[in-house]
């Protein structure tokens, strides 16, 4: 298989590669985030705060599946990029097909498990009344479309590795525009409530899936075929991408704990306010992942080619872009939080709670993008242990510690202070890791290789 790249990851100027990947990645991520925004705006305006609460309560289930998709997509594409850097194109293509096969199987099994166990999920969430109905409607509908979400996620990574980031942007925008039209149709015109929201989001993935399949088959260097299933390669994918699964699973657990604490202290209206704030926070997260993805392709290739100076430049550019973006997000959220919240809901109490929560989030945004990119960096250099450690701390351990410590010191404000505690302690740990382990565990292997060659 001859790999023809539009971008030379090993020789082109690092800043050129970074922004050529970062800008499409940012647009694609924002388009994906916008789809969630559109759901929330229509639900908040035409269903009510209870509808937003239902989506937030069900989200931990989705987060675990996103983690599985990310584990295979990032784990396999990182290893595929490293093999391309080494010149082994056939092995690289096998990683692609392994990801496609196992994500198809996992998505179908996940749909079956969730659809047949919705009553159990409701009991675990301990919700009643209209919120219970909304969770059943939304979760029971969107679950049927998991296969499209997971395959789209993976194919996007491999097309970027193939030098086609612009196509990924077009695909994401097509999905977002479809979602907007379908949301209006199902929620406003047909008054289908949360069932309509789930159906709109699910169906909006069909056009992107069709484009990605066509592009992959006819316009890319990736070749679909049944993969050679080698135990060591499959374990490498899982191991290398494990930090992404760990991160999302931890997010799911932490999200469940967060929701239960808010429900017990502030009730459904508190969860609704948090749901609105979470929509704004998702912008910061999407930008963090955008910068992380922008360096992932170039870093994995150059690690495979042993070009450490270029790896360092990618890392530096990502950190600078992340910090700059975090400062801009701080100013916008701190001063315009109430306006942003009013886009989603009409209820003054929900707007007030969301605006108050966003004051805390605004300070966290300064370092949030950087914290996310630290985890993706260590995945890109094929050091899943460090990546898993930092993401697991940020996603679960730090947040649970904050939820234990901060409410004792600050009362209900401590719930939101826990977010600050998590992000700033993660940032400190991340900067120490950058200094102590600048290239992860690979630095020892690279030094050993150079000594043997010499």
Angle among Cα 298, 169, 196 to the nearest 5 degrees reads 130
The closest alpha carbon to 237, from 145, 143, 146, 158, belongs to 158
Q: How many CA atoms lie within 13 A of 13 on its CB side?
A: 4
Rg (CA), the chain: 21
User: For residue 200, with 0-12 CB atoms within 10 Å meaning exposed, 13-18 middle and 19 or more buried, which class applies?
Assistant: buried
Task: Yes or no: say if 353 and 337 are a contact pair by the CB < 8 Å rule.
Answer: no
Q: Determine how many CB atoms are found less than 10 A away from the CB of residue 242.
A: 22
The SS3 call for residue 252 is helix
Alpha-carbon distance of 187 to 42, in angstroms, equals 7
Give me the helix-helix angle, 165-183 and 14-46, nearest 10°. 10
pLDDT in 10s for each residue of the chain, 454 residues:
444 446 777 777 888 888 887 787 777 777 667 666 777 788 888 888 888 888 877 877 787 887 888 888 888 988 898 888 788 889 999 999 999 999 999 999 999 999 999 888 888 777 778 888 999 999 999 999 999 989 998 898 899 888 887 888 888 888 888 988 999 999 999 999 999 999 998 999 898 999 999 999 998 989 999 999 888 888 888 887 776 777 677 767 777 787 788 878 877 778 888 888 887 888 788 888 888 777 777 887 888 778 888 888 888 888 998 999 999 999 999 998 888 888 887 888 888 989 999 999 999 999 999 998 898 888 888 787 888 888 889 888 898 899 889 989 998 899 899 999 999 999 999 999 998 888 877 555 544 444 433 3
**Angular region, 89: left φ>0, alpha ψ -120 to 50, beta rest:** alpha
Distance from C-alpha of 330 to C-alpha of 328, rounded to nearest angstrom = 5
CA 364 to chain centre: 18
pTM of the model: 0.67
């Amino acid at each position: 298989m001859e790999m023809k790249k539009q971008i030379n990851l090993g020789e082109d100027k690092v800043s050129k590669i970074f922004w050529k990947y970062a800008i499409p990645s940012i647009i694609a991520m924002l388009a994906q985030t916008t789809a969630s925004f559109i759901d929330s705006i229509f639900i908040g305006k035409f269903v009510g705060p209870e509808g937003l609460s239902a989506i937030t309560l069900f989200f931990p289930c989705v987060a675990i599946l996103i983690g599985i998709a990310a584990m295979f997509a990032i784990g396999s594409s990182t290893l595929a990029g490293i093999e391309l850097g080494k010149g082994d194109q056939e092995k690289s293509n096998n990683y692609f097909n392994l990801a496609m096969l196992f994500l198809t199987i996992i998505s179908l099994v996940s749909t079956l498990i969730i659809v047949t166990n919705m009553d159990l999920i409701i009991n675990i969430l301990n919700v009643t009344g209209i919120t219970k109905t909304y969770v059943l409607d939304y979760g029971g509908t969107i679950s049927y479309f998991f296969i499209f979400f997971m395959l789209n996620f993976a194919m996007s990574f491999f097309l970027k590795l193939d030098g086609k980031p612009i196509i990924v942007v077009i695909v994401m925008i097509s999905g977002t525009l479809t979602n907007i039209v379908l949301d209006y149709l199902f929620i406003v015109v047909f008054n289908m409530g949360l069932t309509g929201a789930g159906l709109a989001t699910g169906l909006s993935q069909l056009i992107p899936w069709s484009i990605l399949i066509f592009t992959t088959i006819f316009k890319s260097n990736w070749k679909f075929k049944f993969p050679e299933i080698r135990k060591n390669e499959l374990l490498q994918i899982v191991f290398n991408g494990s930090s992404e699964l760990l991160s999302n699973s931890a997010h799911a657990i932490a999200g469940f704990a967060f929701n239960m604490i808010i429900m017990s202290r502030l009730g459904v209206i508190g969860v609704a306010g948090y749901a609105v704030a979470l929509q704004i926070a998702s912008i910061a997260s999407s930008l963090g992942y955008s910068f992380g993805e922008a360096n992932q392709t170039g870093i994995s290739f150059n690690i495979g080619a042993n070009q450490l100076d270029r790896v360092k430049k990618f890392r530096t550019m990502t950190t600078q872009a992340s910090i700059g973006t975090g400062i801009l997000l701080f100013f916008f959220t701190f001063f315009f939080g109430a306006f942003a919240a009013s886009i989603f809901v009409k209820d003054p109490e929900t707007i007030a709670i969301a605006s108050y929560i966003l004051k805390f989030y605004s300070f966290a945004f300064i370092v949030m993008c950087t914290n996310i990119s630290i985890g993706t960096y260590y995945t890109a250099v094929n050091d899943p242990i460090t990546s898993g450690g930092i993401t697991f701390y940020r996603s679960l351990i730090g947040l649970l510690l904050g939820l234990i410590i901060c409410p004792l010191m600050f009362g209900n404000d401590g719930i939101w202070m826990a977010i600050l505690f998590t992000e700033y302690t993660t940032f400190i740990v991340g900067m120490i890791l950058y200094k102590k382990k600048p290239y992860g565990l690979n630095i020892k292997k690279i030094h050993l290789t150079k000594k043997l060659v010499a």
